[in-house]
Structure 1
Amino acid sequence: MSKNIETPGNPHSKRKSPASAGATALWHVLLKEGRGQAALDAARLLASGETVVNEEFAELERSRPLLILLRLQRWDELLREPVAYGRRGVAAALYFYARGIAFAHLGELALAREAMKRLEPIASTIAGSHAKDETLDKTMRSLALVTREQLRAEVALAEGKTETAIRHQKSASAFAQYLEEAQAPVMADNSILALANLQMRARQWPEAEQTYRNYLFFNPACGWALQGLIHVVKAQGREEEIKKLTVDLKRSWPGADTSLLN
């Protein structure tokens, strides 16, 4: 597993694929169903073709496999993923963001801090250069600020600064609101679930449980939320409740990857 912070380098070859257009929403649907590998395959198909004209969104789509690996927490694969081609900074920002979170989860704090150091000026440049009240600007500005705040949260948690971590994650959730209200999916994660996950890893069991339950109130069939809630309830020793939640999870995710159901 490579542990070096790499610098975006030579462009990947651009190949047009008519089939890739249909993968734009497909990866999102598959990920919601817990079909992680199928979502990753769809994202790779999308990244292999030129389906969007705008350069910033093209960089986002080329970086999609990285974001899905991040959502699936497949750290070794993520760290082997090359930076996507792009000249607008979006691909570089997502690259350092994803790698920084992976390093934080793996306990490689120095490398996580280095990734954060590389991300910060890129995110600031993207946010500063997209100040208009237009769809492109609002999307890229939100994306840049979410990546910055979420990586800050992960590094703070790895440093044992729980309250700082929670503050940054809540800030990320506020910046992510525009992205999550968009009709087309942008990130491969949900900021509220990211907050619950962070609370769970900080062993704030009641807070994490409440965040998951609040989300499930509006999204009762969300497998990702049910999966997290099961871990939180298990940590609190409520075995009988786990049985019911496990049934709910399997009902919500009938075709999910086995690794996500365990």
Structure 2
Amino acid sequence: ALGAASRIIELQQEELLGAPGMTFMQHHRTRRLQMLVRFGAWEELLAEPAPPAELKHARAMWHYAHGRAAAATGDLAAAEADLRAVRAAAADPALVDERLEFNTAGDILKVAVDVLAGQIAFARHDYESAVSHLSRAAEAESALTYGEPPDWSIPVRQELGAVLLAAGKPAEAQKAFEADLEFFPENGWSLHGLARALRAQGRTVEADQVEARFTRVWEGGPIEMASR
């Protein structure tokens, strides 16, 4: 996934990125950032230079990804600064209705705001706020027009389920992972989370069954699945 996302950047013509109607190319450029978030490559993200200010959508998504890395590594002041930048971009009239391929930049940044806010709250152990933001982000994600690949690359319910597990709410986490599996059948991320949620409820037989499904789909997977 990272290799393909990096290849997209190599193939793009830089002079087209800021041209009218080409904002979708900026979004394609940010897929590498989204994959770095997916795999928790925080140090690499923190070292990633910001796009030029005139590439407003790409810059906003960089702030989202940088904010995720800052929150994950404990620099909450930097994460909050990134969140303010994403919020400002999400309210920018020049971006709100700007078309990508399947959705508008405003649609995508609406998800980004609540995911980042939720992860900052999670880093502060404010689980109630984290769940609230991520639940709102999941609703916004569900309202997106689906395309291949999806404009939002990391399903929000996977993150919501992980936060609910950390908050000691395995039954609610189970529902989040099951909902994600309806959208993305047999994906390893939610199967792994679902097995953990079931096991935390003492439903060992069901957890073992889901774990077996996870093992089948994740065989030869790119990374060892972390506990969260």
TM-score normalised by L of structure 1: 0.73
Q: Is the 8 A contact 2:195 2:210 kept in 1?
A: yes
Equivalent residue in structure 1 for 2:46, among 67, 79, 86: 79
What is the CA-CA distance between 1:105 and the residue it aligns to?
A: 2.2
Residue of structure 2 equivalent to 1:3: none
Per-residue CA deviations over 1:17-76 (Å, capped at 9, x if unaligned) read xxxxxxxxxxxxxxxxxxxxxx10111001111278743111111121110010112222
Q: Is the 8 A contact 2:68 2:119 kept in 1?
A: yes
Per-residue CA deviations over 1:219-256 (Å, capped at 9, x if unaligned) read 44111211222333444555554443332112123331
What is the CA-CA distance between 1:133 and the residue it aligns to?
A: 9.7
Equivalent residue in structure 2 for 1:114, among 61, 76, 81: 81
Distance 1:108 1:133, change over 3 A: closer
2: CA distance, partners of 1:149 / 1:218: 20
Residue of structure 2 equivalent to 1:19: none
Residue of structure 2 equivalent to 1:98: 65
Query: Where do 5+ consecutive residues of structure 2 fail to align?
Result: none
Greater RCO structure (CA 8 Å; 6+ sep)? 1
Which SS does the other structure have where 2:186 is aligned? Answer: coil
1:232 matched to 2:197? The reply is: yes
Q: Is the 8 A contact 2:198 2:206 kept in 1?
A: yes
**Cα RMSD, aligned residues only:** 2.8
2: CA distance, partners of 1:152 / 1:88: 23
Q: Is the 8 A contact 1:196 1:211 kept in 2?
A: yes
Residue of structure 2 equivalent to 1:40: 2
Residue of structure 2 equivalent to 1:29: none
Query: Where do 5+ consecutive residues of structure 1 fail to align?
Result: 1-38
Per-residue CA deviations over 1:110-164 (Å, capped at 9, x if unaligned) read 2222221232212221xx3355596669421111111111111112222333222
Equivalent residue in structure 2 for 1:252, among 214, 217, 226: 217
Q: Is the 8 A contact 1:62 1:85 kept in 2?
A: no
Could you tell which deviates more after superposition, 241-250 or 220-229?
241-250
Q: Is the 8 A contact 1:130 1:137 kept in 2?
A: no
Q: Is the 8 A contact 1:67 1:188 kept in 2?
A: yes
Q: Is the 8 A contact 1:55 1:86 kept in 2?
A: no
TM-score normalised by L of structure 2: 0.82
